[in-house]
Each structure stands twice: as C-alpha cells, then as structure tokens.
Amino acid sequence: MKQELSGQLSDKLAKESITGEILNLEPLTGGASKEIWKFEIKSKDSISKFILRRGSGIEGPLAIKTSDEALIQKNVRELGACVPEIVAVSRVDEPLGDAYVMKFVEGESIARKILRDDEYRAALANLAFECGESIAKIHQADITDFSFLPKKTVMEQIDELYQTYVSFDQPSPVFEYTYHWLQGQDFGDLNDTLVHGDFRLGNIIVNSEGLQSIIDWELAHIGNPLQDLGWICGNSWRFGKINKVVGGFGDLEDLLRGYNSISEYQVTENNVKAWQVFGTFRWGVICLIQASAHLTGAVNSVEKAAIGRRVSETELDIVDLLFLGGK
C-alpha cells in the first residue's frame, strides 16, 4: 500500500513541479476519519517535509471534501491567517483520491503534550489571545469565495443535530432537555462568515513561540462566527484542565481581547455561554455519528466503538453548564 501511495504522490507532486525522491512516508495518528501521512522529498540539494491528508472515503455527514479543505486554507492564508501552505490538491477521481499535500509545520498538535511539556509553557500564556486574533482573521474571509460550503443558521444546525440524534434511536433525557433549552436562546444576530467548525486545542499547531497553524478544516461551513469561540471553550477540549476555559490553557477574557482586536463586532463573555452548550451538544452528536459507523457495521473500529461511550461526557458537561454553575 505504501509503495502505491508513494507512486501516486510522486505523480501528483510532479504536476505541481515538485520533484525528487519520496522518503520516510509514515502514517501519523490523526482524526478518526482522515488518513494523515508525513513524508520527505529529497531533491538535488535539500530535503523538504510535507504532510498528506486524505479522506478515507467514509465521511461523516457533517464533513466537507478534503480537497475543499485545501481550497479554504489557500484562501485564508492570503488574508494572513495562520494556516499551512498547500502545495497540491487531489480531487476524488484522481489516483490519489480526495486529498491534499501541505508543507510540514514544525510544532506540536497533540493537546496533552502542549498542556504538559515545559517547552510550550511560555507560549501558553499568550495562546488564547493569539487564537482569538487568528480566528477573527479567518472570520473576515469573503464568503462569496466559498459557494461550495454549506450555509447553516444556528437553528438549522440545532435541528440537524437533533434529527441526527433522533435517528440513532437512543433517547437521551439530557439531549431532549438540551434541545428544548437551545431553542430558547439568543445566539446573536451576526452576519454570516466562514466558520472553521472544529477550532480547538488538538487542531492547532503550537511551538515554543506560540500559535503556528490552524488545521483540520473538515467541519467548515458558513454561519455565525461565535460558534468557533464557543467551541474552543467547551470542556471537551480542555483535556482535564477544567479551570482554564479556553482549551485548558487560557482565559475567555484573553481570547475575546484577541478577537476584538481584529473584529469589528465586539464579542462579550455573555455571547459565549449558549454557544458553549451548543458546542457541547454538537460534540455529543458527533460522538453518536462516529459510534454509529461501528454500530451499523460500516466499519469495525475500536476507536469508533469507544467514542459512543464519550457521549456521557457531553451530557455531564451540559448539566454542569445548565444547572450547576459550570463555566
């Protein structure tokens, strides 16, 4: 398989005038639904590192095509947003499949390492601010460039998530309550923007200097930009550091200070709670979707099976936010 992949990569990159011997092609631990490979290209006088990201062919219902992820990153990179440089895009009918190649970004994306290792300690102090700044730049992209992206209002998303949950026929009293609660909330009447959709610790690359890249664009869509701010504040992405609301490393105040330094619309802390509950519910339904791929027999995956038992984490976070004063 590796040899075949190497050949397909080589052919694809040659079309982009990137030639040389492909070395050290190795799979990396990635998301549950995409393959990620690291490799090097040795040319006459240098070795360059790259990442291949490729769809498995079985996408979740909320995910966009991998090649479309690449188009978005190319676009927002021109706005000065912190994303990797894309060097090749492969459409689903090409030999490489639905995929893209980007330049390797030095740094770490594994959340627990970023939160734990001394190397990143200094960078963490300013990371919430940098995240706010960067996502605000992304929200300034011209959405007429993204006609291929689904456009979703929050109420449409809530309904879509709820109907998805209902379709799995595993009735949850907490999710029923959450659906009712969400329908009564004010999510802010903001203009539509590009929404990353999965902006959180785990999908950012950090080094000792700070934020290097925002990656994993498969849940991108057009909608309310506050969604990205609520999502990064969900407890699901604090990796045990529950008192640091932003990704387990920062304070909401700093995230918003960074955001408001770029954005015309000034976001307040009050805007975020409903989006946190929404985000937690959304992650719960995504867990159900992932688990269903195993339960229906579409794939046999211990990862996907296990994620079914993470739904209860989101239920507990929601009752904590709604009834117990959780932040």
Partner 1 sequence: MIFDKPNTLELLDAVKHFLDTKIKDEVPPHLAFKLRIVENVLSIVIREIETGNDLSQEVISGLKKLVESETANIEELAHLIRDRKIDLENPELKNLLVQLSKNKIAVDNPRYSTYKKLIEST
**Among residues 189, 264, 270, 323, the one that binds partner 1 under rule CB under 8 A:** 323
Nearest CB to partner 1, comparing residues 188 and 308: 308
The vertex-147 CA angle with 142 and 152, nearest 5°, equals: 90
Phi and psi angles of residue 189, each rounded to the nearest 5 degrees, phi first: -95, 75
Angle between helix axes 173-183 and 154-167 (nearest 10 degrees) is 160
What does the block give as tokens for 248?
């387990």
List 12, 238, 282, 294, residue binding partner 1 (CB under 8 A): 238
Shortest Å distance, C-beta 169 to partner 1: 9
Of 18, 79, 105, 305, the residue at the interface with partner 1 (CB under 8 A) is: 305
- For residue 139 the two structure tokens come to 């929200």
Question: Is residue 1 at the binding interface for partner 1, with CB under 8 A as the rule?
Answer: no
Minimum CB separation of residue 318 from partner 1 in Å reads 8
Asked if 183 touches partner 1 (CB under 8 A), the answer is no
Cα dihedral 284, 270, 232, 310 in deg (nearest 10): -20
User: Does the protein bind partner 1 through residue 150 (CB under 8 A)?
Assistant: no
Helix intervals (H) in 98-197 = 111-116, 121-138, 154-167, 173-183
Instruction: Supply the minimum distance, in Å, between the C-beta of residue 310 and partner 1.
Output: 7
CA 115/CA 134 separation, integer angstroms: 20
Which residue in 4, 171, 189, 264 binds partner 1 (CB under 8 A)? 171
Q: Which is nearer to partner 1, 141 or 311 (CB)?
A: 311
Look at residues 163, 151, 150 and name the one whose alpha carbon lies nearest to residue 285: 163
Q: Is 242 in the site for partner 1 (CB under 8 A)?
A: yes
Give Cα separations from 287 to 58, 201, 208, 302 (angstroms).
15, 17, 32, 13
Q: Closest approach of Cβ 174 to partner 1, in Å?
A: 5
Residue 31: half-sphere exposure toward Cβ, Cα within 13 Å: 24
Under the criterion CB under 8 A, does residue 201 sit at the interface with partner 1? Answer: no
Show the binding pattern over residues 19-48: x = contacts partner 1 (CB under 8 A), - = does not: -------xxxx-------------------
Query: What are the residues binding partner 1 (CB under 8 A)?
Result: 26-29, 171-177, 180, 235, 238, 240-242, 302-303, 305-306, 309-310, 312-313, 315-320, 322-324, 326
